[in-house]
Amino acid sequence: MSQGRKGIGLYIHIPFCTQKCHYCDFSSYPGMESLWEDYAKAIVSELALKYELLQDKIIETIFIGGGTPSLIPYHQISMIMDGIRGYSLASDAEISIECNPGTLDAPKLKAYAALGINRLSIGLQAYQENILRLLGRIHTGKQFEEAVYLAKSHGFSNINADIIFGIPKQTLKDWQETLNRVMALDLPHVSCYGLKIEEGTVLDRLSRDGQLEEIDDALDRQMYEEAKAILADHGLYQYEISNFARPGYACRHNIRYWERDEYIGLGAAAHSLTRDRRYANTSDVGLYIKGIASGKPVLSEDYTISSDEALSESMILGLRMNKGINLDELSQFFGLNVRERFHEKLMNLSSKELVDYTGAMVRLTKKGMDYANQVFIEFI
């Protein structure tokens, strides 16, 4: 880092999609094509409004998420990237964009590469047609493969696949097929999430109506263990509860979140963490655009984080990562003896074989990975 400047990450939320997935509770909206251009312009304007926060920082990571960012015309992504280049961008910045199969084409990929985007995260979720339909996905496994081949042909090597296990009607054989077919594409990063049925989603309604039988816990755990084994066999190490990568391909932007480094969110529903302040933009796209146009961003939350809350977050987020937490480093940062504060809790968790607590280091055990929420609740 040059000139003593501190690094920062940018998250840019593109809330538009073709169809809302049946498991999705994110801020994402179909049928808003008429707002796409105004929205991209609003993000550029918001960048200008954030001048004081960004002027003395070096942008080290950028993550363009959604929604489906690859759905909108690439000139709108270009407009946003041009706005970012008004600030200091690290020469080795990691710049990611989320994509869905069926929304990528050669002109888009060529434009992304020219803009300096160097990491793609492509949503697959599952290979089987019946499961994709249940999830409300509008692509096929074949389209996912085509998207990967096309991306590679345009020079993209840092590609992530998003996949989901624990889906109703999904068998262990289905999950193994998804893992093996993804690995056959020689990808350096995989994010695999256990399905959580969120309130207000289509899957939630089907479940409450008795039309959906959730997968049992034993099969869910078996799928997770299978993922760890198959991915490890292909050289992808687990560096976080849900994320696996070859050496050098861990997602630097997401690591910022888990290490509680500063980041600025741009766009509707985007969250920011700066020093001891956390805030979020309104998720209402029209209200977001109007607020930015008036020079007064509309926020859905804005509060100061106490030192105790920050320490609690550091423990919970840090334990998500396989490398664990150095308690002495945390003590130095917070100006208190973290080992002493949490010693009793950590000894109790260690006795239950949920954490490995050795000296200054604490990390989840294999069992702790399976019951992580039981560990995290101790630090809330």
The CATH number of the domain holding residue 206 is 3.20.20.70
**Cβ–Cβ under 8 Å, residues 106 and 144:** no
**C-alpha–C-alpha distance, residues 73 and 115, integer Å:** 14
Domain hosting residue 364, numbered range? 307-379
For position 3, what pLDDT does the model report? 40
Between the alpha carbon of residue 328 and those of residues 64, 216, 305, 309, 334, the distances in Å are: 34, 40, 22, 18, 10
The model carries a pTM of: 0.95
Residues 241 and 370 in one domain: no
Provide the token pair at 101: 């199969």
Q: How would residue 211 be classed by pLDDT, with cut points 50, 70 and 90?
A: confident
Which residues make Cβ contacts (< 8 Å) with residue 21, sequence separation at least 6? 135, 136, 137
Residues 349 and 231 in one domain: no
Residues 78 and 142 in one domain: yes
**Average pLDDT over every residue of 76-101:** 97
CATH for 331: 1.10.10.920
**Average pLDDT over every residue of 148-169:** 97
**Average pLDDT over every residue of 24-52:** 93
For position 4, what pLDDT does the model report? 52
In a domain, 351, yes or no: yes
Whether 150 has a pLDDT exceeding 60, the answer reads yes
- Dihedral sign for Cα atoms in the order 330, 336, 338, 342: negative
Whether 100 has a pLDDT exceeding 80, the answer reads yes
Whether 107 has a pLDDT exceeding 60, the answer reads yes
Q: How would residue 1 be classed by pLDDT, with cut points 50, 70 and 90?
A: very low
Residues 225 and 334 in one domain: no
Edge-to-edge, what's the strand order for the sheet holding 361-364?
Answer: 325-326, 361-364, 355-358
Residues 101 and 169 in one domain: yes
Q: Count up the domains in the chain and report the number.
A: 2
Mean pLDDT over all residues of the chain?
Answer: 95
**Average pLDDT over every residue of 1-6:** 53
Cβ burial, residue 146 (10 Å; 0-12/13-18/19+)? middle
The string of pLDDT tens digits covering residues 321-375 is 999 999 999 999 999 999 999 999 999 999 999 999 999 999 999 999 989 999 9
**Average pLDDT over every residue of 91-106:** 96
Residues 243 and 360 in one domain: no
Residues 213 and 316 in one domain: no
Which amino acid appears at position 307 of this protein?
Answer: S
